[in-house]
A and B are shown apart, each in its own frame.
Chain A
Amino acid sequence: MAGTLFSILIFPGLLFLCIAGLIFEYVDRKAYARLQNRVGPPWFQPFADFIKLLGKENLMPCAANPTMFNLAPLFAFASVVTVFLYIPLWQTKSSFSFDGDIIMILYLLTIPTLAFFIGGWYSTSLFARLGSVRAVTQLFAYEVPLFMSILASALLADSWSLQKIAVYYAQHPAYCLFNSVGFAITLITLLGKLEKAPFDIPEAETEIVAGPFTEYSGKLLALLRLTIDIEMVAGAALVVAVFFPFALMFSPVVGFIVFLIEVLVVVLLLSLLRTIIARLRIDQMIDFCWKWLVPLALFQLLLNLILKGALS
Protein backbone atom coordinates (compact mmCIF):
# COMPACT_ATOMS: atom_id res chain seq x y z
CA MET A 1 0.00 0.00 0.00
CA ALA A 2 2.71 2.46 1.05
CA GLY A 3 4.80 1.36 -1.93
CA THR A 4 1.90 1.97 -4.31
CA LEU A 5 1.26 5.43 -2.86
CA PHE A 6 4.98 6.21 -3.07
CA SER A 7 5.12 5.25 -6.74
CA ILE A 8 1.96 7.23 -7.55
CA LEU A 9 2.79 10.38 -5.61
CA ILE A 10 6.58 10.62 -5.50
CA PHE A 11 8.61 8.39 -7.82
CA PRO A 12 7.96 7.91 -10.71
CA GLY A 13 4.64 9.63 -10.10
CA LEU A 14 3.51 13.16 -9.48
CA LEU A 15 6.46 14.89 -7.79
CA PHE A 16 9.20 13.39 -9.96
CA LEU A 17 7.21 14.10 -13.11
CA CYS A 18 6.45 17.71 -12.25
CA ILE A 19 10.12 18.45 -11.64
CA ALA A 20 11.29 16.42 -14.65
CA GLY A 21 8.67 18.09 -16.85
CA LEU A 22 9.77 21.59 -15.87
CA ILE A 23 13.47 20.72 -16.28
CA PHE A 24 12.88 19.22 -19.72
CA GLU A 25 10.86 22.32 -20.68
CA TYR A 26 13.97 24.34 -19.84
CA VAL A 27 16.14 21.99 -21.95
CA ASP A 28 13.73 22.32 -24.85
CA ARG A 29 13.53 26.12 -24.65
CA LYS A 30 17.27 26.54 -24.19
CA ALA A 31 18.06 24.27 -27.15
CA TYR A 32 15.46 26.13 -29.23
CA ALA A 33 17.08 29.45 -28.29
CA ARG A 34 20.63 28.27 -28.96
CA LEU A 35 19.60 26.92 -32.38
CA GLN A 36 18.19 30.37 -33.16
CA ASN A 37 21.50 31.93 -32.09
CA ARG A 38 20.01 33.37 -28.90
CA VAL A 39 21.13 33.10 -25.29
CA GLY A 40 17.86 31.62 -24.07
CA PRO A 41 16.14 31.58 -20.68
CA PRO A 42 17.92 30.84 -17.37
CA TRP A 43 17.51 27.40 -15.80
CA PHE A 44 14.80 28.45 -13.33
CA GLN A 45 12.57 29.96 -16.02
CA PRO A 46 9.89 27.21 -16.16
CA PHE A 47 9.72 27.19 -12.34
CA ALA A 48 9.28 30.98 -12.24
CA ASP A 49 6.57 30.79 -14.93
CA PHE A 50 4.77 28.07 -13.01
CA ILE A 51 4.87 29.86 -9.65
CA LYS A 52 3.81 33.13 -11.22
CA LEU A 53 0.82 31.53 -12.93
CA LEU A 54 -0.23 29.93 -9.63
CA GLY A 55 -0.45 33.41 -8.11
CA LYS A 56 -2.54 34.94 -10.85
CA GLU A 57 -6.24 35.59 -10.91
CA ASN A 58 -8.48 32.85 -12.32
CA LEU A 59 -10.77 34.22 -14.99
CA MET A 60 -13.64 32.42 -16.65
CA PRO A 61 -15.88 33.75 -19.43
CA CYS A 62 -19.52 34.19 -18.29
CA ALA A 63 -20.79 32.04 -21.14
CA ALA A 64 -18.42 29.16 -20.40
CA ASN A 65 -19.58 25.92 -18.83
CA PRO A 66 -17.86 26.01 -15.41
CA THR A 67 -17.74 22.24 -14.85
CA MET A 68 -16.18 21.39 -18.19
CA PHE A 69 -13.93 24.45 -18.20
CA ASN A 70 -12.45 23.57 -14.80
CA LEU A 71 -12.37 19.79 -15.14
CA ALA A 72 -10.79 19.43 -18.59
CA PRO A 73 -7.25 20.44 -17.48
CA LEU A 74 -7.49 18.08 -14.48
CA PHE A 75 -8.41 15.14 -16.71
CA ALA A 76 -5.53 15.94 -19.07
CA PHE A 77 -3.08 16.21 -16.17
CA ALA A 78 -4.23 13.00 -14.49
CA SER A 79 -3.97 10.95 -17.66
CA VAL A 80 -0.42 12.04 -18.56
CA VAL A 81 0.78 11.40 -15.02
CA THR A 82 -0.71 7.90 -15.14
CA VAL A 83 1.21 7.09 -18.32
CA PHE A 84 4.53 7.18 -16.53
CA LEU A 85 3.57 4.45 -14.05
CA TYR A 86 3.55 1.93 -16.88
CA ILE A 87 6.86 2.84 -18.48
CA PRO A 88 9.77 0.59 -17.48
CA LEU A 89 12.55 2.79 -16.17
CA TRP A 90 14.07 0.93 -13.24
CA GLN A 91 15.86 -2.00 -14.89
CA THR A 92 13.07 -3.81 -16.73
CA LYS A 93 10.48 -2.97 -14.11
CA SER A 94 7.70 -0.44 -14.40
CA SER A 95 5.64 0.38 -11.32
CA PHE A 96 2.60 -1.42 -12.69
CA SER A 97 2.44 -3.70 -15.67
CA PHE A 98 0.04 -6.05 -17.40
CA ASP A 99 -0.33 -7.57 -20.86
CA GLY A 100 -1.72 -4.90 -23.13
CA ASP A 101 -0.51 -1.84 -21.22
CA ILE A 102 1.02 -0.39 -24.41
CA ILE A 103 -2.49 0.02 -25.84
CA MET A 104 -3.65 1.67 -22.64
CA ILE A 105 -0.70 4.08 -22.69
CA LEU A 106 -1.44 5.10 -26.27
CA TYR A 107 -5.05 5.86 -25.32
CA LEU A 108 -4.05 7.67 -22.14
CA LEU A 109 -1.83 9.88 -24.29
CA THR A 110 -4.87 10.67 -26.45
CA ILE A 111 -6.94 11.93 -23.50
CA PRO A 112 -5.08 15.28 -23.15
CA THR A 113 -5.92 16.21 -26.75
CA LEU A 114 -9.59 15.42 -26.14
CA ALA A 115 -9.51 17.31 -22.84
CA PHE A 116 -8.03 20.34 -24.60
CA PHE A 117 -10.80 20.05 -27.16
CA ILE A 118 -13.50 19.95 -24.48
CA GLY A 119 -11.93 22.78 -22.47
CA GLY A 120 -11.53 24.93 -25.57
CA TRP A 121 -15.01 24.15 -26.84
CA TYR A 122 -16.75 24.96 -23.55
CA SER A 123 -14.83 28.20 -23.04
CA THR A 124 -17.07 29.52 -25.87
CA SER A 125 -14.45 31.83 -27.32
CA LEU A 126 -14.28 31.87 -31.10
CA PHE A 127 -10.51 31.39 -31.14
CA ALA A 128 -10.66 28.58 -28.58
CA ARG A 129 -13.32 26.77 -30.61
CA LEU A 130 -11.36 27.10 -33.84
CA GLY A 131 -8.25 25.81 -32.07
CA SER A 132 -10.16 22.90 -30.53
CA VAL A 133 -11.56 21.81 -33.86
CA ARG A 134 -8.09 21.99 -35.36
CA ALA A 135 -6.66 19.94 -32.49
CA VAL A 136 -9.14 17.15 -33.11
CA THR A 137 -8.74 17.30 -36.89
CA GLN A 138 -5.01 16.97 -36.38
CA LEU A 139 -5.58 14.05 -33.99
CA PHE A 140 -7.10 11.98 -36.79
CA ALA A 141 -4.04 12.59 -38.97
CA TYR A 142 -1.13 11.82 -36.63
CA GLU A 143 -2.70 9.17 -34.41
CA VAL A 144 -2.80 6.41 -37.06
CA PRO A 145 0.90 6.48 -38.10
CA LEU A 146 1.92 6.91 -34.44
CA PHE A 147 -0.02 3.84 -33.32
CA MET A 148 1.12 1.78 -36.31
CA SER A 149 4.81 2.52 -35.86
CA ILE A 150 4.80 1.88 -32.10
CA LEU A 151 2.77 -1.30 -32.48
CA ALA A 152 5.10 -2.48 -35.28
CA SER A 153 7.90 -2.52 -32.74
CA ALA A 154 5.68 -4.42 -30.30
CA LEU A 155 4.86 -6.88 -33.07
CA LEU A 156 8.52 -7.79 -33.53
CA ALA A 157 8.89 -8.30 -29.78
CA ASP A 158 5.73 -10.43 -29.82
CA SER A 159 4.16 -8.80 -26.77
CA TRP A 160 1.63 -6.07 -25.85
CA SER A 161 3.37 -5.37 -22.57
CA LEU A 162 5.97 -2.58 -22.48
CA GLN A 163 8.00 -4.44 -19.91
CA LYS A 164 8.30 -7.54 -22.12
CA ILE A 165 9.11 -5.39 -25.16
CA ALA A 166 11.89 -3.77 -23.14
CA VAL A 167 13.26 -7.16 -22.08
CA TYR A 168 13.17 -8.42 -25.68
CA TYR A 169 15.08 -5.46 -27.10
CA ALA A 170 17.54 -5.48 -24.21
CA GLN A 171 18.31 -9.08 -25.14
CA HIS A 172 18.60 -8.32 -28.87
CA PRO A 173 19.94 -4.72 -29.11
CA ALA A 174 20.71 -5.07 -32.84
CA TYR A 175 17.02 -5.58 -33.65
CA CYS A 176 16.35 -1.94 -32.72
CA LEU A 177 17.87 -0.95 -36.06
CA PHE A 178 15.00 -2.63 -37.90
CA ASN A 179 12.63 -0.12 -36.33
CA SER A 180 14.45 3.01 -37.52
CA VAL A 181 11.68 4.00 -39.95
CA GLY A 182 9.13 3.60 -37.17
CA PHE A 183 11.32 5.67 -34.85
CA ALA A 184 11.45 8.55 -37.36
CA ILE A 185 7.65 8.42 -37.84
CA THR A 186 7.05 8.37 -34.08
CA LEU A 187 9.30 11.38 -33.57
CA ILE A 188 7.44 13.39 -36.23
CA THR A 189 3.98 12.42 -35.03
CA LEU A 190 4.96 13.11 -31.43
CA LEU A 191 5.42 16.75 -32.48
CA GLY A 192 1.78 16.68 -33.57
CA LYS A 193 0.70 15.19 -30.26
CA LEU A 194 2.61 17.84 -28.31
CA GLU A 195 1.27 20.57 -30.61
CA LYS A 196 4.71 21.91 -31.37
CA ALA A 197 5.95 23.38 -34.67
CA PRO A 198 5.56 22.29 -37.49
CA PHE A 199 2.29 20.89 -36.13
CA ASP A 200 1.38 23.71 -33.73
CA ILE A 201 -1.64 24.44 -35.93
CA PRO A 202 -4.16 24.25 -33.02
CA GLU A 203 -2.43 26.99 -31.03
CA ALA A 204 -0.98 29.01 -33.90
CA GLU A 205 -0.55 32.29 -32.04
CA THR A 206 -0.18 34.36 -35.20
CA GLU A 207 -3.58 33.19 -36.42
CA ILE A 208 -5.86 32.19 -33.57
CA VAL A 209 -4.32 33.75 -30.43
CA ALA A 210 -3.60 30.63 -28.35
CA GLY A 211 -6.01 28.01 -29.63
CA PRO A 212 -7.86 25.98 -26.99
CA PHE A 213 -5.98 27.77 -24.17
CA THR A 214 -7.10 31.27 -25.18
CA GLU A 215 -9.50 31.75 -22.24
CA TYR A 216 -7.44 29.98 -19.60
CA SER A 217 -5.51 31.99 -17.04
CA GLY A 218 -3.93 31.55 -13.62
CA LYS A 219 -3.83 28.11 -12.00
CA LEU A 220 -5.62 26.30 -14.81
CA LEU A 221 -3.15 27.65 -17.36
CA ALA A 222 -0.27 26.57 -15.11
CA LEU A 223 -1.80 23.09 -15.00
CA LEU A 224 -2.22 22.99 -18.78
CA ARG A 225 1.38 24.04 -19.36
CA LEU A 226 2.60 21.45 -16.87
CA THR A 227 0.45 18.84 -18.65
CA ILE A 228 2.16 19.57 -21.96
CA ASP A 229 5.60 19.39 -20.33
CA ILE A 230 4.83 16.05 -18.70
CA GLU A 231 3.32 14.83 -21.95
CA MET A 232 6.63 15.64 -23.63
CA VAL A 233 8.58 13.65 -21.02
CA ALA A 234 6.10 10.77 -21.13
CA GLY A 235 6.12 10.70 -24.94
CA ALA A 236 9.92 10.76 -25.04
CA ALA A 237 10.06 8.03 -22.37
CA LEU A 238 7.62 5.91 -24.38
CA VAL A 239 9.82 6.31 -27.48
CA VAL A 240 12.87 5.29 -25.45
CA ALA A 241 11.07 2.31 -23.89
CA VAL A 242 9.79 1.05 -27.23
CA PHE A 243 12.64 1.81 -29.62
CA PHE A 244 15.87 1.70 -27.66
CA PRO A 245 15.52 0.38 -24.09
CA PHE A 246 19.29 -0.14 -23.70
CA ALA A 247 19.26 1.38 -20.21
CA LEU A 248 17.77 -1.86 -18.96
CA MET A 249 21.02 -3.74 -19.52
CA PHE A 250 22.79 -1.80 -16.76
CA SER A 251 22.46 -1.92 -12.99
CA PRO A 252 19.49 0.07 -11.54
CA VAL A 253 21.06 3.47 -10.84
CA VAL A 254 23.35 3.59 -13.87
CA GLY A 255 20.48 2.28 -15.98
CA PHE A 256 18.18 5.03 -14.77
CA ILE A 257 20.78 7.68 -15.62
CA VAL A 258 21.24 6.16 -19.09
CA PHE A 259 17.45 6.20 -19.45
CA LEU A 260 17.32 9.91 -18.57
CA ILE A 261 20.10 10.63 -21.06
CA GLU A 262 18.14 8.80 -23.77
CA VAL A 263 15.02 10.82 -22.93
CA LEU A 264 17.16 13.97 -23.12
CA VAL A 265 18.37 12.97 -26.59
CA VAL A 266 14.78 12.47 -27.78
CA VAL A 267 13.74 15.85 -26.34
CA LEU A 268 16.70 17.52 -28.08
CA LEU A 269 15.72 15.84 -31.37
CA LEU A 270 12.18 17.19 -30.91
CA SER A 271 13.48 20.75 -30.35
CA LEU A 272 15.77 20.42 -33.37
CA LEU A 273 12.81 19.40 -35.53
CA ARG A 274 10.61 22.21 -34.25
CA THR A 275 13.34 24.77 -34.90
CA ILE A 276 14.10 23.80 -38.47
CA ILE A 277 10.56 23.31 -39.78
CA ALA A 278 8.00 26.11 -40.00
CA ARG A 279 4.30 25.64 -39.31
CA LEU A 280 2.23 23.82 -41.92
CA ARG A 281 -1.38 24.53 -42.85
CA ILE A 282 -3.91 22.05 -41.50
CA ASP A 283 -4.61 20.57 -44.96
CA GLN A 284 -0.88 20.21 -45.70
CA MET A 285 -0.42 18.49 -42.36
CA ILE A 286 -3.21 15.98 -43.03
CA ASP A 287 -1.96 15.35 -46.57
CA PHE A 288 1.55 14.74 -45.26
CA CYS A 289 0.41 12.34 -42.55
CA TRP A 290 -1.90 10.27 -44.76
CA LYS A 291 0.15 10.32 -47.96
CA TRP A 292 3.63 9.79 -46.53
CA LEU A 293 3.64 8.71 -42.91
CA VAL A 294 0.88 6.09 -43.12
CA PRO A 295 2.42 4.23 -46.10
CA LEU A 296 5.82 4.33 -44.37
CA ALA A 297 4.27 2.98 -41.17
CA LEU A 298 2.58 0.23 -43.21
CA PHE A 299 5.97 -0.59 -44.71
CA GLN A 300 7.40 -0.83 -41.19
CA LEU A 301 4.59 -3.19 -40.16
CA LEU A 302 5.18 -5.38 -43.21
CA LEU A 303 8.93 -5.42 -42.62
CA ASN A 304 8.43 -6.49 -39.00
CA LEU A 305 5.98 -9.21 -40.00
CA ILE A 306 8.49 -10.64 -42.48
CA LEU A 307 11.36 -10.30 -40.01
CA LYS A 308 9.34 -12.02 -37.33
CA GLY A 309 8.94 -15.01 -39.63
CA ALA A 310 12.59 -14.95 -40.68
CA LEU A 311 14.03 -14.57 -37.19
CA SER A 312 11.96 -17.16 -35.36
Chain B
Amino acid sequence: MSLAKKMMTWARIKSPWVIHFNTGACNACDIEIVASLTPRYDIERFGVQLKGSPRHADVLLCSGPVTRQIEDRLVRIYEQMAEPKFVVAIGTCACSGGVFNGCYNIKGGINSTIPVSAFIPGCPASPKAIMDGVVKLLMSLESTEEAEKPKSP
Protein backbone atom coordinates (compact mmCIF):
# COMPACT_ATOMS: atom_id res chain seq x y z
CA MET B 1 0.00 0.00 0.00
CA SER B 2 1.49 3.33 -1.03
CA LEU B 3 1.87 6.19 1.42
CA ALA B 4 -0.88 8.27 -0.22
CA LYS B 5 -3.33 5.39 -0.02
CA LYS B 6 -2.36 4.71 3.59
CA MET B 7 -2.97 8.36 4.47
CA MET B 8 -6.32 8.32 2.70
CA THR B 9 -7.42 5.23 4.63
CA TRP B 10 -6.26 6.84 7.87
CA ALA B 11 -8.19 10.03 7.06
CA ARG B 12 -11.32 8.05 6.19
CA ILE B 13 -11.18 6.18 9.47
CA LYS B 14 -10.52 9.32 11.49
CA SER B 15 -13.22 11.48 9.96
CA PRO B 16 -16.52 9.69 9.31
CA TRP B 17 -19.25 12.27 8.81
CA VAL B 18 -22.69 10.85 9.33
CA ILE B 19 -26.16 11.72 8.15
CA HIS B 20 -29.19 10.46 9.96
CA PHE B 21 -32.22 9.27 8.02
CA ASN B 22 -35.42 7.88 9.50
CA THR B 23 -36.82 5.28 7.10
CA GLY B 24 -39.94 4.63 9.13
CA ALA B 25 -38.74 3.94 12.66
CA CYS B 26 -40.86 4.42 15.78
CA ASN B 27 -38.40 7.18 16.88
CA ALA B 28 -36.74 5.15 19.63
CA CYS B 29 -33.63 4.44 17.54
CA ASP B 30 -33.58 8.07 16.36
CA ILE B 31 -33.52 9.26 19.96
CA GLU B 32 -30.63 6.88 20.66
CA ILE B 33 -28.72 8.17 17.60
CA VAL B 34 -29.24 11.75 18.77
CA ALA B 35 -28.24 10.72 22.30
CA SER B 36 -24.92 9.40 20.99
CA LEU B 37 -24.22 12.84 19.50
CA THR B 38 -24.76 14.65 22.83
CA PRO B 39 -21.92 15.84 25.11
CA ARG B 40 -22.54 12.76 27.32
CA TYR B 41 -21.01 10.46 24.69
CA ASP B 42 -19.32 13.14 22.54
CA ILE B 43 -18.46 11.20 19.37
CA GLU B 44 -16.65 14.22 17.96
CA ARG B 45 -13.75 12.66 19.89
CA PHE B 46 -13.57 10.15 17.02
CA GLY B 47 -14.12 12.81 14.38
CA VAL B 48 -17.78 11.93 13.85
CA GLN B 49 -19.88 14.92 12.88
CA LEU B 50 -23.54 15.07 12.00
CA LYS B 51 -24.01 16.68 8.60
CA GLY B 52 -27.20 18.07 7.14
CA SER B 53 -26.45 17.42 3.50
CA PRO B 54 -26.03 13.90 2.03
CA ARG B 55 -23.37 15.35 -0.30
CA HIS B 56 -21.08 15.95 2.69
CA ALA B 57 -21.66 12.68 4.52
CA ASP B 58 -19.74 9.41 4.39
CA VAL B 59 -21.99 7.22 6.52
CA LEU B 60 -25.76 6.99 6.20
CA LEU B 61 -27.36 6.02 9.51
CA CYS B 62 -30.75 4.44 8.78
CA SER B 63 -33.26 3.60 11.45
CA GLY B 64 -36.45 1.64 10.97
CA PRO B 65 -37.90 -0.73 8.36
CA VAL B 66 -38.21 0.52 4.79
CA THR B 67 -41.80 1.54 4.25
CA ARG B 68 -43.12 1.55 0.70
CA GLN B 69 -43.53 5.31 0.89
CA ILE B 70 -39.96 6.02 1.98
CA GLU B 71 -38.34 3.58 -0.46
CA ASP B 72 -37.84 6.08 -3.32
CA ARG B 73 -36.55 8.73 -0.95
CA LEU B 74 -34.06 6.34 0.63
CA VAL B 75 -32.65 5.41 -2.78
CA ARG B 76 -32.47 9.07 -3.73
CA ILE B 77 -30.60 10.06 -0.55
CA TYR B 78 -28.23 7.14 -1.07
CA GLU B 79 -27.54 8.15 -4.66
CA GLN B 80 -26.87 11.76 -3.62
CA MET B 81 -23.98 10.71 -1.39
CA ALA B 82 -20.43 10.92 -2.75
CA GLU B 83 -18.28 7.79 -3.04
CA PRO B 84 -16.90 6.14 -0.90
CA LYS B 85 -20.10 5.77 1.13
CA PHE B 86 -21.33 3.37 3.77
CA VAL B 87 -24.73 2.51 5.15
CA VAL B 88 -25.36 1.47 8.74
CA ALA B 89 -28.68 -0.09 9.70
CA ILE B 90 -29.52 0.81 13.29
CA GLY B 91 -32.06 -1.18 15.27
CA THR B 92 -33.71 -4.54 14.76
CA CYS B 93 -36.30 -3.10 12.37
CA ALA B 94 -33.58 -1.65 10.13
CA CYS B 95 -31.71 -4.96 10.16
CA SER B 96 -34.59 -7.24 9.21
CA GLY B 97 -37.90 -5.42 9.37
CA GLY B 98 -38.36 -6.56 12.98
CA VAL B 99 -41.91 -6.82 14.26
CA PHE B 100 -43.15 -5.05 11.14
CA ASN B 101 -41.86 -7.77 8.83
CA GLY B 102 -44.65 -9.00 6.59
CA CYS B 103 -46.84 -5.93 6.98
CA TYR B 104 -48.53 -4.80 3.74
CA ASN B 105 -46.73 -1.41 3.79
CA ILE B 106 -43.24 -2.68 4.66
CA LYS B 107 -40.58 -3.80 2.24
CA GLY B 108 -38.24 -5.24 4.87
CA GLY B 109 -34.85 -4.27 6.29
CA ILE B 110 -32.61 -1.57 4.81
CA ASN B 111 -30.70 -4.18 2.77
CA SER B 112 -33.87 -4.93 0.81
CA THR B 113 -33.36 -1.55 -0.90
CA ILE B 114 -29.71 -0.45 -0.69
CA PRO B 115 -26.45 -2.25 0.21
CA VAL B 116 -25.68 -2.16 3.94
CA SER B 117 -22.17 -2.23 5.43
CA ALA B 118 -23.01 -2.76 9.10
CA PHE B 119 -26.00 -3.99 11.08
CA ILE B 120 -26.56 -2.85 14.67
CA PRO B 121 -29.42 -4.82 16.28
CA GLY B 122 -31.26 -3.70 19.40
CA CYS B 123 -34.69 -2.38 20.24
CA PRO B 124 -33.63 0.37 20.47
CA ALA B 125 -29.87 0.08 19.82
CA SER B 126 -28.12 1.90 22.68
CA PRO B 127 -25.64 4.72 21.99
CA LYS B 128 -22.79 2.45 23.08
CA ALA B 129 -23.91 -0.22 20.61
CA ILE B 130 -24.10 2.38 17.84
CA MET B 131 -20.58 3.63 18.56
CA ASP B 132 -19.30 0.05 18.71
CA GLY B 133 -20.92 -0.70 15.34
CA VAL B 134 -19.45 2.36 13.67
CA VAL B 135 -15.98 1.62 15.08
CA LYS B 136 -16.20 -1.98 13.80
CA LEU B 137 -17.23 -0.72 10.37
CA LEU B 138 -14.21 1.60 10.27
CA MET B 139 -11.84 -1.13 11.46
CA SER B 140 -13.11 -3.42 8.70
CA LEU B 141 -12.30 -0.62 6.27
CA GLU B 142 -8.68 -0.78 7.37
CA SER B 143 -8.42 -4.55 6.97
CA THR B 144 -10.15 -4.67 3.55
CA GLU B 145 -7.86 -1.99 2.16
CA GLU B 146 -4.86 -3.86 3.52
CA ALA B 147 -6.12 -7.04 1.87
CA GLU B 148 -5.81 -5.31 -1.49
CA LYS B 149 -2.07 -5.01 -0.91
CA PRO B 150 -0.18 -6.92 -3.64
CA LYS B 151 1.71 -9.91 -2.25
CA SER B 152 5.45 -9.42 -2.18
CA PRO B 153 7.24 -12.06 -4.31
Chain A interface residues toward B at CB < 8 A = 29, 33, 36-42, 44-45, 47-52, 55-59, 127, 205-206, 209-210, 213-218, 221
Contact B8 A51 (CB under 8 A): yes
Contact A217 B55 (CB under 8 A): yes
- For A213, the chain B residues whose CB sits under 8 A away are 53, 56
The dominant DSSP class at the A interface is loop
Contact B52 A51 (CB under 8 A): no
A210 to B56, CA, bound (A): 9
Q: Is B1 an interface residue (CB 8 A)?
A: no
Closest B residue by C-beta to A205: B52
**CB within 8 A of A52: which of B8, B39, B42, B55?**
B8
Residues 1-45 of B, flagged 1 when their CB comes within 8 A of A and 0 if not, give: 000000110111011000000000000000000000001001011
The dominant DSSP class at the B interface is loop
Residues 75-88 of B, flagged 1 when their CB comes within 8 A of A and 0 if not, give: 00000101110000
Q: Is B115 an interface residue (CB 8 A)?
A: no
- For B136, the chain A residues whose CB sits under 8 A away are none
Contact B82 A56 (CB under 8 A): yes
Contact A55 B42 (CB under 8 A): no
**CB within 8 A of B55: which of A29, A33, A40, A216?**
A216
- For A40, the chain B residues whose CB sits under 8 A away are 42, 44-45
Q: Tell me how many residues of B have a C-beta within 8 Å of chain A.
A: 22
Closest A residue by C-beta to B16: A52
Chain B interface residues toward A at CB < 8 A = 7-8, 10-12, 14-15, 39, 42, 44-45, 47, 51-53, 55-56, 58, 80, 82-84
Contact A41 B53 (CB under 8 A): no
- For B55, the chain A residues whose CB sits under 8 A away are 59, 214-217, 221
Q: List 14 A-B contacts (CB under 8 A).
A: A33-B44, A37-B39, A38-B44, A42-B45, A45-B47, A47-B11, A48-B10, A49-B15, A52-B11, A55-B11, A206-B52, A210-B51, A214-B55, A221-B56
Contact B53 A49 (CB under 8 A): no
A55 to B53, CA, bound (A): 18
Contact A55 B44 (CB under 8 A): no
**CB within 8 A of B83: which of A50, A57, A210, A215?**
A57
- For B47, the chain A residues whose CB sits under 8 A away are 41-42, 45, 48-49
With A56-B84, A59-B82, A217-B56 already in contact, the answer to whether A39 and B45 are too (CB < 8 A) is yes
A44 to B10, CA, bound (A): 11
Contact B83 A51 (CB under 8 A): no
Contact A57 B82 (CB under 8 A): yes
Closest B residue by C-beta to A33: B44
- For A218, the chain B residues whose CB sits under 8 A away are 82
A189 to B80, CA, bound (A): 35
**CB within 8 A of B15: which of A39, A48, A59, A217?**
A48
Closest A residue by C-beta to B7: A51
- For A127, the chain B residues whose CB sits under 8 A away are 53
Closest B residue by C-beta to A59: B82
Known A52-B15, A56-B84, A217-B55; 10 more pairs at CB < 8 Å: A47-B11, A51-B7, A52-B11, A55-B11, A56-B82, A56-B83, A209-B53, A213-B53, A213-B56, A221-B55
Closest A residue by C-beta to B48: A41
With A39-B45, A40-B45, A221-B56 already in contact, the answer to whether A55 and B15 are too (CB < 8 A) is no
CB distance from B82 to the nearest CB of A (A): 4
Contact A48 B14 (CB under 8 A): yes
CB distance from B19 to the nearest CB of A (A): 10
CB distance from B4 to the nearest CB of A (A): 9
CB distance from A126 to the nearest CB of B (A): 12
- For A217, the chain B residues whose CB sits under 8 A away are 55-56, 82
A106 to B47, CA, bound (A): 34
Contact B14 A44 (CB under 8 A): yes
Looking at B8, B47, B52, B55, the one whose CB has the most chain A CB atoms below 10 A away is B55
A49 to B15, CA, bound (A): 6
- For A56, the chain B residues whose CB sits under 8 A away are 58, 82-84
